[in-house]
């Protein structure tokens, strides 16, 4: 008889950090293949199609970037906050408010030069998003409200607010003339306020994506090399140590939430400037960018640079998923394949911290001489082996 | 040549109720079905420049849906229409769809992907797809675009919808007859002309079978949100209504009505089997024949842009089977009005019509023009609630 | 010493074996925690399991209590081979464990905690409520475990809570009791009464296995001692045949300079570097934790703060270290009044602070050694060139500190939590010493360290004192305080109940003061 047990790893080797996600993807592909075969679809053909229709076919990468742009921003939103253990799940609402602010400015500055409008919209989006996040920050700071709850509620509130602006009021954002009289809709930005679409290597790249990459790099440097980033790391790891070091956790938490919200807000600005050219409450609420961003951040291990690549990957999967589905390939199956991939890679993350032990369960056999290890224990080895019940979360 | 093509288009249009007139709007034909052609600067010569078959394979046509094909409502109805067209047109045509497509950039991506797959014609079935459809139509003049429930058109971008207000008048008749106290409730999505005219029609219908009937409106600000719909319906019942109508895509209102044992008129889906005890009837759309004829036209090179507004006359809108709560007398009354809609002898949005204050809005004998119907923003007498939401 | 040369059973040949563990091996990844360990304990004895941290004591007992399963080897209880696959199985086999950290529900009563998790057979007819209370009372009396069964846990002192833990295992009819460092939280008097209890349990035919790394306890209470080192059993000896020095040598593997009497470091006429006057402060629960604390510290002096855990020493350390606000009173450092609760200002006044909670307060566990070295001075040069941290400089500075303070770790980027306890404390002390402090506040600096590391830390403190740093040494280890300090202040319920001379202080007097009897 054998028994299988999970034991916590005392040390996660470097190679595992690479191998595990790879292994996770492999498992997902195998499980996915089984699912495909079971539902009567070609396996390798489907995978080839995902690759082609998500990334390599002419023109598809442009579509992938379009899908990736908002996820890049919301991914950064989550990554920054979670780095410090602040669970901002309000990327959704912060993006809405960013879109609201940016479209306000974009509509107002419609006749200004494009450079001015675009810069103002980015700024306005950032301000909107961070203001919205700051509400949660104040509630957390003053009333110790859990930010998971407050940011979530603020998502709904932001949704209702932009919905109100377009559907239930004669607001500045709403188109009242022409076709706007037939159905409530937002005013369209003027041509000049629409963000440019520079071609890089023949692929049109949304301007917002370039902005997003710049911020990803900036945040990477900020977290890694500055005093601010240092404060964030200390607070995240040990609040008591932060207090001991005289770090003002309140101020840093505020700054982090504001920065986090600003990213989502710029994502909203990009949604208006790059894609919709109007404030579209229904479309924004359907999209759920804020929530997908959390997954992007998790898959990117909260690393801003990794978030860029994960956002592209997710965008590609989305594009490929759209291409794949149809009467013979239900949307649910596409979603299941995507879910498998996420589940296996994220699940692998957890497993990387444990090892699987298979041992024989036989009364008599265990009597045999124990194999001896001659390796002396290094001075840096952990002290008494940790009990299974003590579960600190490793890096 | 030009002329011939135009005549050809007219022929097709006639079959569909597509009157290819050059004027910006036409008065609705008495049957309620009409077409408008926006002065979009589009080629007015009637020849289709889009949707020409490419290659020798089956002609590819695609649908973009906002919901899942088995949502039991809006998208299911469209997909039945697609299957109808596919079955009748056979192997020459290959239809496909993308379901649960999100409005915005994702819709554009879905359309791009469909065009890359060789589809020559794209139907989009949610209002929210309109902007993406417009952009893509500009980008791909070789492809025909058709948008349900929109208002924008161009040379290769047409728009279609049904005159649900006509049949809502009939469901109102059923509800009015089923009500005991003359207080009806209506769970409504958005305060927009489309919904306002449906509510008005429902009220006018109810008032014919139950003189003095009122219709209380509850807005959900959503097309499909069972929770909000349920809350709205419960609110109405609490306010004393004893019959319910709706403009929503989910049967949540019916659930409330069932629990309270109240008669209920649904919308866009036949729910008679699920609600045997309190079902009245509902407006239902019949998309299939339209899809079939438009695809056939595109294949033949005779497709023409325009706005199609289908009514009872060409069975584009109709009534779901009656429930047992509708008595024979009411059935007969409804049948006679339906016949009137069909032969053009009756149109309900005809004066005298009074607004909520009791002031006369439409003079006696004057029928409302389509442009007024399409931009209706006022409630008729007897409707309780604000047309602003 | 060759482990195989000792016949483990010679000491108890006339006794009945209760626990026999043969060739037990347990690995955690690359680490071999137990390497072919043999351990035998007999009926009716108190058997100490002695070893430094990391020697494998807890791992070994965890296999006896069913928490881990051995990779190889055999366990016999009362000469019957058994597989203890779960804690439940171990309890059924008569093994009870009293953990270092109590596992009690604070809002439940003593009786409720005692029955919590009892298996069905125990809960049945035999243990109805009244019966339980009777049985609790009976056991309390027999083993002098005075505790009121109706009281809630949160109302009890630490010593009483430990008694509840003992009652829990007794009511489960444990015949083999394992206690993991049970005296860590007790006053000397409480420890003594625990020893009496353990003795009487052994006399009743139970087997008591007592894990410790404190030599005086081991010599005081046990019949036999098994010494573990580096995961192997080094020796099993009769306690009567050895003294603390020889046990320490077995434990560490070399002779230890043990009884270090520090003597005075105070320059007779030196000015006070730290004066606290009438300090009142609140604890974390906003209730008064410190009352009218007044003390002064001279350059080069080591002032001990003794007391039972929870009598305000932690809060006092935090106040003197600059991280806790005060309600009233004054703290002067070199004549300059301090803003309490502002650790940055305290650091500027050259007050260094080594908190009791090393991993979590003093250091951020997941951050690297280098990051932790920067913790108190990351704001300005040479650590930062605002807004950037000088990462490269920090790295080499850390490397240099590590070699100077003999920190054993793969490199400056190694996360602190991967270091051994001794090395962790070295990093913390290195950082604080590097700030060239006038005042050094250290709380329990040697708690949990092994003998070698303790020697090291103490000599670092002495060196600092000799350089003229005034040191406040907060410790619950009376031996340490007596050995190290020039003066000893004893705290009870947030007050300093007396200050005695380090040289003349004896354990009994201190113990009485710690218990509030002045």
Q: From first to last of its 389 residues, what are the pLDDT tens digits of chain B?
A: 232 333 233 333 333 333 333 333 333 433 344 444 333 333 344 455 788 877 778 999 999 998 888 877 788 889 999 999 999 999 999 999 999 999 989 999 999 999 999 999 999 998 889 989 999 999 999 999 999 987 888 999 999 988 899 999 999 999 999 999 999 999 999 888 889 999 999 999 999 999 999 999 999 988 888 899 999 999 999 999 999 999 998 889 999 999 999 999 999 888 888 899 999 999 999 999 999 999 999 998 899 998 888 889 888 999 999 999 999 999 999 999 999 999 888 898 888 899 999 888 888 888 888 878 878 889 999 999 988 87
Question: Is C56 a residue whose pLDDT tops 80?
Answer: yes
Q: What would you report as the CA-atom Rg of chain B, rounded to the nearest whole angstrom?
A: 21
pLDDT of residue C518: 55
**Between B99, B104, B117, which is nearest A280 by CB?**
B104
The pLDDT tens digits for C313-359 are 889 999 999 889 898 888 988 888 888 888 999 988 999 999 988 88
CA distance A173 to chain B (A): 17
Residue (of B103, B219, C338) closest to A168 by Cα position: B219
Asked if B113 lies within 8 A of A182 by C-beta distance, the reply is no
Angle, alpha carbons A382-A388-A394 (nearest 5°): 60
Please give the share of chain C, as a percent, with pLDDT higher than 90: 23
Least confident range from B36-40, B357-361, C42-46, C374-378: namely: B36-40
Question: Is A126 a residue whose pLDDT tops 80?
Answer: yes
pLDDT of residue A356: 62
Q: Which of C53, C375, C406 to mutate to test the interface with A (most CBs of A within 10 A)?
A: C375
pLDDT of residue B6: 30
Identify the band that residue C392 occupies on the pLDDT scale cut at 50, 70 and 90: very high
Asked if C387 lies within 8 A of A227 by C-beta distance, the reply is yes
**Chain C contact for A367 (CB, 8 A cutoff):** yes
Question: Is A375 a residue whose pLDDT tops 60?
Answer: no
The pLDDT tens digits for C160-210 are 888 888 888 888 888 999 998 888 777 777 888 889 999 988 988 899 998
pLDDT of residue A387: 34
**Between C69, C357, C415, which is nearest A240 by CB?**
C357
Q: Which of C60, C364, C453 to mutate to test the interface with A (most CBs of A within 10 A)?
A: C364
3-state secondary structure of A236: helix
Q: What is the phi-psi region of residue B72: left when phi exceeds 0, alpha when psi lies from -120 to 50, beta otherwise?
A: left
**Chain C contact for A362 (CB, 8 A cutoff):** no
Residue (of B291, B329, B321) closest to B123 by Cα position: B291
Question: Is A46 a residue whose pLDDT tops 80?
Answer: yes
- Kindly tell me the sign of the dihedral angle through the C-alpha atoms of B70, B71, B75, B80: positive
- Kindly tell me the sign of the dihedral angle through the C-alpha atoms of B67, B69, B70, B73: positive
Q: How far is CA A81 from CA A236, A239, A256, B111, C2, in A?
A: 10, 15, 6, 36, 56
CATH class of B164-285+318-384: alpha beta
Please tell me whether the peptide bond between B352 and the residue prior to it is cis, using omega within 30 degrees of 0.
Answer: yes
Q: Please give the Cα distance from A89 to A105 (Å, whole number).
A: 26
pLDDT of residue A5: 59
pLDDT of residue A7: 57
Q: What is the pTM of this model?
A: 0.76
Same domain, C244 and C364: no
pLDDT of residue A160: 93
Residue (of C518, C477, C516, C481) closest to C501 by Cα position: C481
- Domain boundaries, position C81: 1-94+204-251
CA distance C173 to chain A (A): 25
Q: Which of C22, C24, C32 to mutate to test the interface with A (most CBs of A within 10 A)?
A: C32
Question: Is C431 a residue whose pLDDT tops 60?
Answer: yes
Do residues A296 and A75 make contact, with C-beta atoms less than 8 angstroms apart?
yes
Residues 6+ apart with CB under 8 A from A340: A28, A31, A32, A35
**Between A7, A245, A377, which is nearest C375 by CB?**
A245
Question: Is A16 a residue whose pLDDT tops 50?
Answer: yes
pLDDT of residue C430: 92
**Nearest residue in A to C80, CA atom:** A363
CA distance C511 to chain A (A): 31
pLDDT of residue A13: 67
The pLDDT tens digits for A305-348 are 999 999 999 999 999 999 999 888 888 888 898 888 888 887 77
Tokens of B161: 């919808």
Q: Quick one: average pLDDT of C465-488?
A: 87
Q: Do chains A and B touch (3 or more CB pairs under 8 A)?
A: yes
DSSP code at position A165 = I
Asked if C56 lies within 8 A of A384 by C-beta distance, the reply is yes
Q: Compare C22 and C14 and report the one with higher pLDDT.
A: C22
Asked if A363 lies within 8 A of C388 by C-beta distance, the reply is no
Asked if A319 lies within 8 A of B127 by C-beta distance, the reply is no
- What total number of domains does chain C contain? 2
Mean pLDDT, chain C, whole residue set: 83
Do residues A323 and A53 make contact, with C-beta atoms less than 8 angstroms apart?
yes
Residues of chain A contacting residue B96, judged by C-beta atoms under 8 Å apart:
326-327
Residue C122 lies in a domain: no
3-state secondary structure of A248: coil
**Nearest residue in A to C373, CA atom:** A245
pLDDT of residue B9: 33
Q: What is the largest CA-CA distance in chain B?
A: 65
pLDDT of residue A72: 97
Question: Is C121 a residue whose pLDDT tops 50?
Answer: yes
pLDDT of residue B232: 94
Identify the band that residue A165 occupies on the pLDDT scale cut at 50, 70 and 90: very high
Chains that touch A (3 or more CB pairs under 8 A): B, C
Asked if A234 lies within 8 A of C367 by C-beta distance, the reply is yes
Q: Please give the Cα distance from B104 to A91 (Å, whole number).
A: 18
**Chain C contact for A248 (CB, 8 A cutoff):** no
Q: Quick one: average pLDDT of C396-410?
A: 90
Question: Is A153 a residue whose pLDDT tops 50?
Answer: yes
Residues of chain B contacting residue A168, judged by C-beta atoms under 8 Å apart:
191, 221, 388-389
Question: Is A128 a residue whose pLDDT tops 90?
Answer: yes
Residue C153 lies in a domain: no
Q: Please give the Cα distance from C339 to A156 (Å, whole number).
A: 44
Q: Quick one: average pLDDT of A6-24?
A: 69
Q: Which of C30, C102, C341, C373 to mutate to test the interface with A (most CBs of A within 10 A)?
A: C30
Do residues A223 and A302 make contact, with C-beta atoms less than 8 angstroms apart?
no
* Number of neighbouring beta carbons within 10 Å of residue C418: 19
Residues of chain C contacting residue A227, judged by C-beta atoms under 8 Å apart:
378-379, 384, 386-389
**Nearest residue in A to C423, CA atom:** A380
Do residues A114 and A192 make contact, with C-beta atoms less than 8 angstroms apart?
yes
**Between A230, A244, A388, which is nearest C355 by CB?**
A244
Question: What CATH number is associated with residue C32?
Answer: 3.40.50.300
Tokens of A33: 């293949």
**Nearest residue in B to A62, CA atom:** B109
Chains that touch B (3 or more CB pairs under 8 A): A
Asked if A66 lies within 8 A of B374 by C-beta distance, the reply is no
Same domain, C90 and C209: yes
Q: Please give the Cα distance from B157 to C91 (Å, whole number).
A: 79
**Chain A contact for C53 (CB, 8 A cutoff):** yes
Domain ranges of chain A: 76-310
Asked if B104 lies within 8 A of A323 by C-beta distance, the reply is no
Residues of chain A contacting residue B151, judged by C-beta atoms under 8 Å apart:
179, 182-183
Least confident range from A105-119, B327-341, C88-102: namely: C88-102
Domain ranges of chain B: 164-285+318-384
Residues of chain A contacting residue C378, judged by C-beta atoms under 8 Å apart:
227, 230, 245
Q: Quick one: average pLDDT of A345-370?
A: 55
Q: Which of A55, A65, A167, A321 to mutate to test the interface with B (most CBs of B within 10 A)?
A: A167
Question: Is C128 a residue whose pLDDT tops 70?
Answer: no
Asked if B193 lies within 8 A of A181 by C-beta distance, the reply is yes
Please give the share of chain C, as a percent, with pLDDT higher than 70: 91
**Between C343, C391, C409, which is nearest A245 by CB?**
C343
pLDDT of residue C517: 67
Residues 6+ apart with CB under 8 A from A74: A91, A92, A95, A263, A264, A267, A289, A290, A292, A293, A294, A296
Do residues C340 and C324 make contact, with C-beta atoms less than 8 angstroms apart?
yes
Residues 265-324 of C with CB under 8 A from A: 321-323
**Chain C contact for A355 (CB, 8 A cutoff):** yes
Tokens of B337: 């009005």
CA distance A252 to chain C (A): 14
Residue (of C440, C445, C497) closest to C465 by Cα position: C440
Question: Is A159 a residue whose pLDDT tops 50?
Answer: yes
Q: Quick one: average pLDDT of C230-235?
A: 85
Question: Is A377 a residue whose pLDDT tops 60?
Answer: no
Identify the band that residue C252 occupies on the pLDDT scale cut at 50, 70 and 90: confident
């Amino acid at each position: 008889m054998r028994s299988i047990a999970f034991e916590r790893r005392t040390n996660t080797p470097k190679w595992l950090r690479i191998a595990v996600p790879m292994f996770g993807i492999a498992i997902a592909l195998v499980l996915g293949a089984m699912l495909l075969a079971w539902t009567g679809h070609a396996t390798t053909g489907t995978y080839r199609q995902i690759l082609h229709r998500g990334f390599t076919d002419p023109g598809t990468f442009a579509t992938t970037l379009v899908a990736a742009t908002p996820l890049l921003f919301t991914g950064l939103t989550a990554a920054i906050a979670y780095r410090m253990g602040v669970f901002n799940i309000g990327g959704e609402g912060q993006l809405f408010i960013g879109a609201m602010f940016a479209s306000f400015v974009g509509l107002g500055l419609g006749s200004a030069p494009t450079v001015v409008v675009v810069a103002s919209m980015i700024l306005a989006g950032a301000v909107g998003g961070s203001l919205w996040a700051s509400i949660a920050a104040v509630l957390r700071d003053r009333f110790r409200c859990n930010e998971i709850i407050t940011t979530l509620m603020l998502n709904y509130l932001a949704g209702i607010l932009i919905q109100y602006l377009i559907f239930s009021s004669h607001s500045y954002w709403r188109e009242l003339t022409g076709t706007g009289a037939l159905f409530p809709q937002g005013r369209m930005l003027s041509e000049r306020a629409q963000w440019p679409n520079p071609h890089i290597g023949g692929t049109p790249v949304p301007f917002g994506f370039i902005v997003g990459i710049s911020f990803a790099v900036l945040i990477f440097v900020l977290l890694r090399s500055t005093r601010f980033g240092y404060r964030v790391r200390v607070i995240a790891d040990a609040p008591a140590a932060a207090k001991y070091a005289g770090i003002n956790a309140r101020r840093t938490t505020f700054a982090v939430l504001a920065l986090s919200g600003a990213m989502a807000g710029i994502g909203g600005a990009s949604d208006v400037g790059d894609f919709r050219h109007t404030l579209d409450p229904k479309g924004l609420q359907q999209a759920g960018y804020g929530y997908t961003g959390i997954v992007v951040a998790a898959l990117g291990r909260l690393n801003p640079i990794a978030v860029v690549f994960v956002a592209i990957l997710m965008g590609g999967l989305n594009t490929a998923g759209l291409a794949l589905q149809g009467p013979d390939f239900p949307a649910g199956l596409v979603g299941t394949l995507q879910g498998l991939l996420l589940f296996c890679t994220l699940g692998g993350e957890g497993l990387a911290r444990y090892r699987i032990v298979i041992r024989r369960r036989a009364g008599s056999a265990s009597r045999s001489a124990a194999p001896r290890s001659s390796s002396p224990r290094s001075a840096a080895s952990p002290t008494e082996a940790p009990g299974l019940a003590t579960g600190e979360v490793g890096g | 040549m030009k002329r011939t093509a135009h005549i050809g288009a007219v022929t097709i249009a006639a079959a569909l109720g597509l009157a290819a007139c050059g004027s910006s709007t036409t008065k609705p034909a008495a049957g309620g079905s009409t077409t408008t052609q926006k002065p979009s600067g589009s080629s007015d010569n009637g020849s289709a420049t889009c949707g020409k078959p490419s290659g020798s394979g089956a002609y590819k046509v695609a649908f973009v849906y906002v919901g899942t094909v088995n949502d039991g409502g809006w998208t299911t109805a469209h997909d039945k229409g697609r299957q109808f067209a596919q079955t009748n047109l056979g192997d020459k045509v290959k239809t496909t769809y993308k379901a649960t497509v999100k409005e915005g950039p994702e819709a554009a991506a879905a359309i791009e992907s469909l065009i890359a797959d060789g589809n020559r014609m794209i139907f989009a079935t949610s209002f929210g797809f309109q902007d993406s459809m417009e952009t893509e139509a500009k980008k791909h003049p070789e492809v025909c675009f058709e948008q349900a429930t929109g208002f924008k058109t161009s040379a290769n971008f047409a728009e279609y919808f049904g005159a649900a207000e006509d049949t809502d008048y009939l469901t109102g008749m059923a509800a009015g007859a089923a009500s005991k106290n003359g207080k009806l409730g209506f769970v409504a999505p958005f305060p927009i002309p489309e919904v306002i005219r449906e509510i008005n029609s429902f009220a006018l219908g109810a008032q014919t079978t139950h003189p003095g009937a009122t219709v209380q409106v509850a807005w959900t600000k959503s097309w499909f949100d069972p929770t909000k719909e349920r809350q709205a319906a419960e609110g109405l019942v609490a306010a004393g209504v004893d019959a319910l109508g709706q403009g929503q895509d989910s049967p949540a209102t019916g659930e409330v009505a069932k629990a309270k044992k109240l008669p209920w008129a649904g919308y866009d889906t036949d729910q008679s089997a699920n609600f045997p005890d309190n079902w009245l009837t509902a407006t239902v759309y019949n998309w299939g024949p339209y899809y079939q004829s438009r695809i056939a036209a595109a294949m033949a090179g005779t497709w023409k842009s325009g706005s199609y507004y289908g009514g009872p006359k060409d069975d584009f809108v109709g009534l779901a089977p009656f429930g047992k709560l509708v008595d024979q007398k009411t059935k007969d009354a409804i049948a006679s009005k339906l016949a009137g809609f069909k032969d053009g002898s009756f149109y309900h949005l005809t004066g005298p019509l009074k607004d909520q204050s009791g002031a006369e809005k439409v003079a006696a004998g004057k029928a409302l023009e389509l442009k007024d119907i399409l931009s209706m923003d006022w409630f008729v007498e007897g409707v309780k609630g604000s047309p602003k939401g | 010493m060759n482990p195989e040369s000792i016949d483990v059973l010679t000491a108890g040949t006339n006794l009945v074996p209760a626990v026999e563990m043969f060739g037990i091996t347990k690995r955690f990844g690359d680490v071999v925690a137990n390497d072919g360990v043999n351990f035998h304990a007999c009926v009716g004895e108190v058997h100490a399991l002695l070893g430094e941290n990391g020697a494998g004591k807890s791992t070994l007992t965890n296999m006896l209590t069913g928490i881990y399963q051995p990779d190889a080897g055999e366990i016999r209880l009362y000469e019957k081979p058994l597989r203890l696959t779960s804690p439940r199985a171990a309890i059924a086999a008569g093994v009870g464990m009293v953990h270092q950290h109590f596992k009690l529900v604070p809002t439940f009563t003593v009786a409720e905690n005692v029955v919590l998790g009892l298996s069905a057979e125990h809960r049945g007819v035999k243990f109805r409520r009244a019966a339980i209370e009777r049985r609790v009372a009976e056991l309390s009396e027999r083993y002098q475990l005075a505790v009121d069964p109706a009281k809630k846990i949160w109302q009890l002192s630490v010593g009483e809570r430990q008694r509840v833990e003992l009652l829990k295992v007794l009511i489960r009819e444990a015949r083999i009791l394992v206690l993991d460092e049970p005296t860590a939280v007790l006053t000397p008097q409480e420890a003594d009464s625990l020893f009496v209890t353990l003795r009487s349990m052994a006399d009743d035919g139970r087997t008591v296995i007592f894990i410790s790394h404190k030599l005086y306890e081991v010599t005081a209470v046990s019949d036999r001692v098994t010494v573990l080192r580096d995961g192997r059993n080094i020796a099993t000896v009769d306690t009567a045949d050895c003294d603390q020095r020889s046990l320490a040598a077995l434990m560490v593997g070399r002779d230890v300079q043990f009884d270090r009497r520090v003597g005075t470091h105070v320059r007779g006429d030196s000015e006070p570097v730290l004066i606290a006057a009438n300090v009142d402060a609140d604890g974390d629960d906003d209730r008064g934790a410190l009352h009218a604390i007044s003390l002064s510290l001279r350059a080069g002096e080591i002032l001990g703060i003794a007391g039972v855990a929870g009598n305000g020493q932690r809060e006092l350390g935090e106040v003197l270290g600059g991280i806790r606000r005060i309600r009233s009173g004054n703290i002067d450092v070199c004549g300059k009044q301090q803003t309490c609760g502002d650790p940055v200002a305290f650091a500027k006044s050259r007050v260094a602070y080594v908190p009791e909670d090393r991993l979590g307060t003093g250091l951020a566990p997941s951050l690297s050694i280098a990051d932790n070295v920067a913790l108190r001075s990351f704001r300005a040069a040479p650590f930062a060139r605002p807004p950037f941290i000088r990462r490269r400089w920090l790295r080499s500075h850390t490397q240099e500190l590590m070699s100077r303070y003999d920190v054993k770790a793969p490199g400056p980027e190694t996360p602190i939590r991967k270091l051994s306890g001794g090395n962790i404390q070295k990093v913390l002390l290195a950082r604080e010493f590097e700030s060239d402090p006038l005042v050094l506040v250290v709380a329990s600096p040697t708690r949990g360290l092994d003998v070698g590391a303790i020697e090291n830390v103490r000599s670092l403190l002495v060196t600092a004192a000799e350089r003229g740093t005034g040191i406040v040494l907060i410790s619950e280890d009376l031996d340490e305080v007596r050995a190290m300090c020039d003066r000893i202040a004893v705290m009870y319920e947030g007050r300093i109940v007396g200050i005695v001379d380090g040289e003349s202080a004896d354990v009994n007097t201190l113990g009485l003061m710690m218990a509030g009897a002045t």
